[in-house]
Amino acid sequence: MAIRSAKINQKADLIWAIADKLTGPYKPHEYGDVILPLTVIRRFDCILFDTKEAVLKKYEEVKNLSMKDVLLRKASGFDFYNTSKYTFEKLMDDPDHIEENFRDYLNGFSENVQDIIQKFEFDGHITRMANKNILYIVLKEFTTEKANLHPDEVSNLEMGYIFEEIIRRFSEAHNEDAGQHYTPREVIQLMVNILFYDDNDILSGNNVAKTIYDPACGTGGMLSVAEEYLHSLNASTELVSFGQEINDQTFAICKADMLIKGNNADYIKDGNTLSDDQFVGNTFDYILSNPPFGREWKNEKAKVEEEAKKGFAGRFGAGLPAASDGQMLFLMTAISKMKDISQGGSRIAIIHNGSPLFTGDAGSGPSNIRKYILENDLLEAIVALPNDIFYNTGIATYIWVLSNKKAGTVREGKVQLINANELYEKRRKALGNKRNDIPEKYIDEITQIYGDFKESDISQIYENADFGYTKITVERPQKDEDGNVVLKKGKPVADTSLRDTENVPLKEDIKAYFEREVLPFAPDAWIDEKKSKVGYEIPFTRYFYKYEAPRPSEEIMAEIMELEKELSGSLEEVFR
């Protein structure tokens, strides 16, 4: 899966350099609003170049027929076409009528491409560039060799990378989160490796069709890498991609990418996944995603809570996270899209920060979501990734791997924790917060560790119940002025100021724990069993914590004395 990154960067550099022609009428943070849609349109233009004459000829024959769309697609060889007499090159022949002719050219595209252009809100920029007399100049730049985006020059996969590189630059200029739009490819490759690991259906089957879904698909990078990797394993297996994306620009690029590759672009939907699920009732073989984390979902609250009232007839039956962070809503969306085991079951790989591992006390929404996942034996593994691996955050991130196909396997009832935090290489040049890469050798190593399912320095295996606990409420009695216990109906009255709680591991007997840990220190205490709640948390870092003995005080003192000597000498130099 090695990609010719030098070529991609070079092409992206050349295309982004066209933005120089926008200087003056546009501010730097606006460049992407023009460069992104023109790059997409130019790619379509280059793809359709070879069959352009055939399409124009066919259009004259069928333009009055109701089924012309099907016939024109056949003539173009793609799921899209353009019936305008213009191409980018031919537009250059008439500078005086560039705006009128360019609009004619855009209107010649099939409806699915026009939908993409509309999502870019590009029409206003045509008027703006024309009024500032730069429309012809900018379009001319897209006809030069540096903007040659013909498939013979730039493959579909490379084009996806170029789109994403331009988005990253645009986001940096705009001071936006580049990371909200895409995930580093090495992280996706690791997720896909694990997702497809040892899946005999797709590895050995002939002409097998599988489905994959991303509820926050961005530019479609995850779907593209999954498809590419699967074809490298078995060219006869078809992977049908489904996705939903809220950002209009990235949705437009994802849909364009699907069209260009000959996939069904109708399966890429726009809209807010949390409040407007476009795939109600659909289930998929594979689900992978890098949803936004640390983002509040107050705007979607009414719709989400309405669906939560349906219980498990909706997506959010297990519980709701705090309104300040919606990532666990995407996790539950993914789980709701799993196929029943009778239909072959499903596997999920989804990225989260540390919060979903432990946030929320017993009985809270996040704890109940973990409870549901672990008590239904859905969690296979959690992989801790190196820090500084993403473009927009340096914090700790984790891949959650879920499956409803664990029964009867060595993973049944168990969870594997893999600490891959140190498996990285430093980048020569940081990209935003991305200072580290996961090289191919470590991707292979992590995949192998997952596949081997054995304990080691960086792999630990636990039973589901190891993450559970019962939160008990310990009461102490009120006492009167004489020190006697206050009774009501023959029972001691609890003193709320002395109330305490204890988390008792699920595998421990509560009574034995209470007698050992509480009664020796508070002989009059009792448990209010009506208040007991079962909770789950996965304190990942605690499991991999390694004690480091403090340095001897003599060694530290010697170091201080040495520093004092150096400082004293430096001061003498200053005050001579």
What is the pLDDT, as a whole number, of residue 4? 47
Label residue 573 by pLDDT band (50, 70, 90): low
The band of 3, judged by pLDDT with boundaries at 50, 70 and 90, is very low
The answer to whether residue 169 scores a pLDDT higher than 80 is no
pTM attached to this predicted model: 0.87
Q: Among the residues of 377-535, which ranges form H helices?
A: 440-452, 510-517
Distance CA 205, CA 57 (A): 42
Name 561's Cβ contacts closer than 8 Å, sequence gap at least 6. none
Residue that wins the pLDDT comparison between 379 and 2: 379
Domain check: are 415 and 496 in the same one?
no
Asked whether residue 193 falls in the same domain as residue 166, the answer is no
Average pLDDT over residues 23-36: 89
**pLDDT at residue 126, rounded to an integer:** 96
Boundary (domain end) residue, out of 172, 188, 215: 172
**Is a pLDDT exceeding 80 seen at residue 391?**
no
Q: Show the domain range for 524.
A: 467-575
What's the rounded mean pLDDT across residues 405-413? 95
Q: What are phi and psi of 528, to 5 degrees?
A: -90, 95
Based on the fold, state whether residues 37 and 85 are members of the same structural domain: yes
Q: Do 439 and 558 reside in the same domain of the chain?
A: no
Residues 147 and 187 in one domain: no
Same domain for 383 and 498, yes or no, is: no
- The residue among 236, 246, 314, 233 whose CA lies nearest residue 280 is 314
Query: Do 388 and 244 sit in the same domain of this protein?
Result: yes
Q: Is the pLDDT of residue 575 over 60?
A: no
| Residue 459 located in a structural domain | no
Please determine, for residue 227, whether its predicted confidence score (pLDDT) is greater than 60: yes
419 and 552 in a single domain? The answer is no
Q: Is 272 helix (H, G, I), strand (E, B) or coil?
A: coil
**What's the mean pLDDT when you consider all of the chain?**
90
Percent of the chain clearing pLDDT 90 (strictly above): 68
pLDDT, tens digit (0-9, with 9 covering 90-100), for 554-566: 878 887 877 777 6
Tokens 């499991």 sit at which residue?
A: 543
Distance of CA 273 to the CA centre of its chain: 13
Give the separation between CA 172 and CA 181, rounded to whole angstroms: 12
pLDDT above 80: residue 576:
no
- How many angstroms separate the CA atoms of 467 and 460, rounded? 13
Of 154, 172, 190, which residue is a domain's last? 172
Render pLDDT for 429-470 as a digit per residue (tens, 0 to 9): 877 778 899 999 999 999 999 999 999 999 999 999 999 999
Does a structural domain hold residue 281? yes
Q: From the CB of residue 516, how many other CB atoms can be counted at a distance below 10 Å?
A: 11
Residue 253 pLDDT: 87
Question: Does the pLDDT value for residue 178 go beyond 50?
Answer: no
The total number of structural domains that make up the chain: 3
**Per-residue pLDDT for 196 more than 50?**
yes
- Token pair, residue 418, equals 């893999």
Query: φ and ψ at 575, to 5 degrees?
Result: -95, 10
pLDDT at 179 over 50: no
Supply the CATH number for residue 338's domain: 3.40.50.150
More confident residue, 570 or 370: 370
**Same domain for 424 and 482:** no
**Mean pLDDT for the stretch of residues 6-13:** 81
- Does one domain contain both 545 and 445? no
Same domain, 165 and 182: no
pLDDT in the model for residue 174: 57
User: CB-based contacts of 90: which residues, under 8 Å, 6+ apart?
Assistant: none
User: Residue 533 is encoded by which pair of tokens?
Assistant: 């709640």
